[in-house]
Amino acid sequence: MKMFRNSKKSKLFIQKINELLSDSELKLSKALKFQLLEAMELCEKGSKISYLSYKIYPWVLEELALNRIQSDKLKMFKRYLEQERWKYYFGSALGMAFTLIR
């Protein structure tokens, strides 16, 4: 059951990236497109979505700041990344807390 749930989440992650890349009205920078394509490849290979969200988030923020035409799709993707990336922060903060105790 767990593998099915993870594949469902990874399909959703890939679907959201495909929606961004296929939108012809949205002018994405080459750097963001590269990061999105790389994240799709890593997701298909089995990388955690929380790590990929953590990795992509700064690029999406930069794109929103530079892009004068605010896109609802890009804003929704940013919210999705915020929901997913907290798991990576939580895991890295807990890991660091326990290593400092020793």
Q: Supply the pLDDT for residue 6.
A: 64
41 vs 61: CA distance, rounded Å:
21
Q: Using the 8-state DSSP alphabet, how is residue 46 labeled?
A: T
Q: What range does the domain containing 82 cover?
A: 2-101
Q: Supply the pLDDT for residue 88.
A: 74
Which tokens is 62 given?
């930069």
Confidence check: pLDDT of 39 > 90 = yes
pLDDT digits (tens, 9 = 90+) for 41-68: 999 998 888 889 999 999 999 988 887 6
Q: Tell me how many domains the chain contains.
A: 1
30 vs 1: CA distance, rounded Å:
38
pLDDT digits (tens, 9 = 90+) for 66-97: 876 678 888 999 999 998 887 776 666 565 55
Which tokens is 56 given?
């992509």
> Quick one: average pLDDT of 3-26?
83
